[in-house]
Amino acid sequence: MPNRAVFCYNPAMDDQVIDAAMARGLHADAVRTHPLVGWIVMKDPPDYPDRFVARLVTSAASPYVLVADTLAEVQAALPHGLKRSARQPADLPDVIEVWFAE
């Protein structure tokens, strides 16, 4: 995935807050049609102060986000079978981790 920072936040995009079941379905669809699929987990992004957000990304950011009060809650809502990637120096300050489809 190119520079992960560009996938985190797009003020022109209207987010669609989803639940865990919808995340599983969207993720399953994405892995069938994209070679690289991930979820970028952020803390306290501009549109969701004091919340944790996981955004579905492929070759571009999607409008689909999971939103929770704690990191554990947002992680529990992610689809199963993902591999965690730690925060990278080039990531925006809000980024905590990224989860990729295996």
Q: What is the pLDDT along the chain (102 residues), one digit of tens a residue?
A: 444 444 455 555 689 999 999 999 999 999 999 999 999 999 999 889 999 999 999 988 899 999 999 999 999 999 999 999 988 999 888 999 999 988
Is 30 inside a domain boundary?
A: yes
- Is 1 a member of any domain? no
Residue 7 falls inside a structural domain = no
Q: What residue numbers bound the domain in which 81 lies? A: 14-101
Task: Evaluate whether residue 70 is within a structural domain.
Answer: yes
* β-strand pairing of 38-43 with 95-101: antiparallel
In a domain, 91, yes or no: yes
pTM score over 0.95: no
Distance CA 91, CA 70 (A): 20
Residue pair 4/41 in contact (Cβ under 8 Å)? The answer is: no
Asked whether residue 6 is domain-assigned, the answer is no
Number of domains in the chain: 1
